[in-house]
Each structure stands twice: as C-alpha cells, then as structure tokens.
Structure 1
C-alpha cells in the first residue's frame, strides 16, 4: 500500500498543490518581480546581457526543480558573490573567462554533491563555521562599496576618464531614500519589490534630469533573441586557469547560503529536504543551473532569499508557482525593448540601489557573527576575521605569472585554512 504524501495544512497552497490558471499567472508574476531587480542588477554591474541572465535564471530554476524531483520550491537567480572576480575578468578576458569560472563553480557543486552522496554533509560545518562565513559575506558587500560610490558620483566623459557630478549624486540619494522608504513603509505585494520600485523612481528622476540615453530602446525590436554567448560559436574558448581559480573557491561561500536557504524552507514547509530529496540533489540542481548559465552567457546562479520571503508571507509553497515564475522570466528575456530599457538604467540609479544592496549583504555577514555569538575576545576568532576582512576588502590579489586570484578568493581560501590549522586557544590564553 502506497504511503500517503504529507501535506502541510498551514500552507495556502502546499508544494504539490496546483493553482488555477489566473492564480498561477498572478502568483508567478509576483515571484518574478521579487527576484527581478537583483537578477538583472548583477549582469548590469558586470557588463553582461540582462536578457541572458533572465533566461538562464528561468532555465536554471526549471532544471533545479527537475533535479530535486519537484520537491523543493526555490528560485535560482543571479549570484552577487561572484561580482568582484567577474568584473575583473570582464576587463581582461571578456565573457570567455567568466564562462570558464561559472562552469567551474557548477563543477565544484557537482563534486561536493557527489561527496555528500557518499559520506554525508557534516564535514561542511567543519570547514565553513560562522567565524569564516560571516567575514566572507561581509567582504562580498564591502569590497563593492567603491564601485557603488563611483557609479553614484562619477560621470564618464570618455573611455578613460570621468568627472564628479553633483547631479549624479542627487539621483543616487533619491534612489536610495526611495528604496528605503518602500522597504519600510509599504505593505502587501509592493513591500516585496522595493528594489524594483526604487529603480523605477530613480529612473524617472534621471529621465527628468536628462541623464538617460534612450537611443538603444528606440532602436531595439519588441521581440529579440538574447545575444547568447556560446563557446566556439560567438567567442574563442582558450582555457584560463586564473579565471577558474578566481571564481571556483567562492562556490564554498554560495553553498553555505544555499544550505541556509534549505534550512529556512524546511521550517516553512515542515519537511526535511536534507533527507528527501537530499542535499546532494539540491546542490546538483544548483550546480547544473550555473553550468547551463556559463554555456549561454549568464552569471552563476544561486537560490534566492527574496522568493523564500514571498513564500513566507503568502504561505504559497507550490512548485508550480515557482515553475511559472521561471517560464515568465524566459518569456521576458525575449522582449528586446525590455532588455534595452534595463540596459539604459544610468550609473547613479545603480549606485543608489547598490548603497543599500551591498550594505545589506555586509550586514548579513555581521548578523551571522552576532547570531552565533562569536567571541572576539578569543584570539583565534579575531585573527581569522581580521585576515579575511582586510585581504578581501582591500582586494589583495595574488598574481603568479599570468594567473590572478581576486582578494575575495584569497581571503576565502586563507580563512578556511586558518580555521582548520589554528588551535582553539592561543598559548597566552587560559
């Protein structure tokens, strides 16, 4: 006799409940808007095509749902963790380097998934405790502070020079304050999209001040195939070990984020996804999604807390809704004028959003340390966090011949190493 499937009675729609078509459309669009701002902001910051990022996030989400046997409601969006090395690679190698790094990130996920399927996942807690993860997450946000400030204040007058523009800074401040206001004072669905609403306000202000260039929107077609970056078809792929090693170690950081999201979903849905379908399947789905993104021109992807927040508020946990959001993203990626409109967002608007976004990332790293009551009177904790913060934020790159490792990658590897080799107490401590 087949065992009856568990159902969470507290959910409005549980994981395998099917909404009717009008409900599916509305709930799916809501999820798409929740992830939209962050998913397209990553490629804008790096210089990638936002349409491809939308497409790869949709395809990656569908692939994730398939690999996890449609048992986990999650959305895969562009990851902020890899912005620093991707920016550096874009300047030196173009997308070819980013592609190799993105595929390498997915490969690391698959390797870890294979290990976990054989030996379990307890060892991850050993190499990535809060004292390592917290400072690394802080570095991810704070190392981008200079980029946010430059976008918010500097107007480019040529390919090599830029000047301070008070008008830019005012646009950035209005965008920032509007986003904060939306986040604090709006209710319901509108409260879930403060970044998107802030972008709209900043864009309108920038339009009024003559900062926006709409020529690309005017020339774009309504329907347009995203300019996919396919190895050996659109660019020559030459193996770049530096690109791989600049991004691959950071997969360890996004894995902790991924694991944390699964823990939250366990609580929301009253299930244990670590056992069924298993952490090895959730990591495999995430890794394969990033690999697909790398082969078509998108950034690495990761599970999105924004969409988990939507599920927490609405109590709608249906995988059909998440799949609908993925399909919506794919459809939107073929609207040429939308992609051109997104690419026309000026620097000060992006800078204003980034002030809040990057700061929030850093604050989340601090929250990890606070929530886990890390004792900084212990020399061990002090030196690990100090080394990670200064090397990562200062971007102390490691250059060996033609190989270059970002400060964030160096800080991650060093933090893991120090955590493994340092004793619990210094010799001078009682």
Structure 2
C-alpha cells in the first residue's frame, strides 16, 4: 500500500478512512433515529467524533449561547440543520445562525468553525467561505476576512502532534453580511481540527520510511452539517432587477454570430470580457492553435461554478483548449464541454458598451438562457494597453521599457 499501488486507476495512498454519519435524535431508538434522518437533522465527519450544532433564524440574539437552555431556545426560534429557514419577516434584514462545536475527547483540538454559503443569481451559482469563530487571538485579513492558518504542532519525524493550540469548544452567533433577500441560498457549518499527521505519515513512521511525497503529510479532520436553505418569496424574487437573457436580446433584434464571424471576432486576439453579474473583468487570449489563456484574474475574484481555477491559470498563464463549432465557442471543464453563443446587438442592451457601438454578449450553455458576458471595446481604465515593440519609436522606448534614451 505505501509503495503506491494503483487500484482502479488511482494511487491508494490518496484514499482516506471512512467517515461517520451523525443524527440528532431525541433518544437512541429506531423510530427516533429515523425521524431525525427524515427531517435531515444530520451531519457527517471525516472519522472523528466532533459534536456540531447549527441553527438558522431571523431573531437570534448574540447572548443566546450564554443561556443554560440555549439549545431549547435555538429550536424554538428557527430552523435546524437540514431544514428551511422560515419566511423572512418584513422587518428582518438578514438571517442569523447559531453554531456550536465540541472536540472529540480522543482527538485533536478545534481550529475554527466556518459557514459555507451558496447562492444563485441570473443563472450563475456561487459559494463563499466565512470564518465565523476560531481559537486563539488571530486577526482576520482586513480585505478578505480570512483568518490565518493556525500553528501546526505536527512533528513529521515522529508523526505526532500536540494540543497546545486550538480550543476544546467553539460557538458563536453569525449574521450573513452579504444577504440578498431576492436570491436562493443555502448555508452549512463545518468545524475544523488543528493539523494532525495523515495516516500515511503515521504508517511511514511505523515502517521506518519517509512519508510519501505524493500526498499531504498532514490533514485537518472535520465535521460538516446538513445545509439550511433560504427560498425567497415570489414578491422578493420579482423585486430584483432581472439579468439580461437571450430572449431579451433576440426580441430586440440581436443576432447570433456565425462560426466565421466568431473566428473573425476572437481568433488571434486578446479580448476583454466582463461578467455583468459580478462585475469581474478578465482578458482572454484566443490563439490560432486552439489554445486560450485567461489573464488579469485576481485571487479574490468572485467566480461562478464550472469555471475552474481561473486565478491560478491567470497567474501561471496556463492555456486551455477551445474550439469554435456550430456557431459557438466551446471550452472544457474536467472534460465537460461548456459552450458559449455570442450575440451582436446594434445598440447597448443593459451592458457597458457605448450605445452607438455594436454590443457583443455571450451566453454560456450552463446558465439557463442568461447572457451574462459582455465583450468590452477596451479594458479597465486602471490598466494601460502597451503598443507592440515594433510600433514604438526608438526615442520613446524609455517610456515603456525603463531603458536610457539613445544619444
């Protein structure tokens, strides 16, 4: 096993022990456990026995966790993991969540609790991770809100760790700071332990060999809850400004580009594209050999699902394959083809291009008829497009290349 046996195409050293499923049942009987499973008041762990509770509501107070009967109050005031938030009261601004975790007494201390939020807008789906409570006095990053990694106490040579960091219990009341009442959303909690040696590191120690380099030497065991769901009312959903759709474009006379028109528009060029849902801009270079490179994507960019790791691809200038066929641009995510049709309008239709200019909008095949992408005539104003070297006079080189002028 430690030699790297390949089973069904995968190195067995990547395997992990089975996890645990947990139910919050009133009593240890078949009927009570079934009822808990039926109402989905369940969570899972990676194998450790962390206790985890998660409630959502509209009126949880910050001091509820100081009360002796806080669990009873949490049940009475909201929804449990696996269920739906009650309808939003008119005066409520955002939902609050009560989250609590206690360590496995036979395992490592807790590092932090996170809430993972997912939501949809204009056919796109998003996820964001919030650090909501953590051990120690670490300070969140002022820009991202992310809490720095906890100190690792793992001794790789001995395959041991120490509970000198972390906490035995973590709890808090957290309110969604980015709540939009018009958007469908879900929330789930996860509790992370401090780093501990992975099983492969422990077995390497027992065998007297080096830990394998193809897998991480450490891990953070965890527990994660079933989600709590938020569904907007029809009134709240219809109050939001609708996004642009293919139906809107065609109704106003926009035409889908043909295969030849697409090639003329993008092949051999670098174009700026804006996601009008998030406002994020990116530069895409479509080379003539069928490769495309994504540029100018920041690591904190808000990206929809089924895009891949664009910040990493941008940083490394990693190219991916693309095709143009059937009047669509075809890209691939883990081997799955995603197509984009491009529509040309003679006037601006909710985009950012000047009204007197033709406007090009892209509609991805996985975004339910929305046309969320706009090809911009020029890039962001904070970036300067440099001319090609051959177009720069000799006496102007120093302005661009930081070289001394010729005498």
In terms of fraction of residues, the more helix-rich structure is 1
- TM-score after normalising by structure 2: 0.23
Structure with the greater relative contact order (CA < 8 A, sep ≥ 6): 1 or 2? 1
Larger of the two Rg values belongs to structure: 2
- TM-score after normalising by structure 1: 0.23
In terms of fraction of residues, the more strand-rich structure is 2
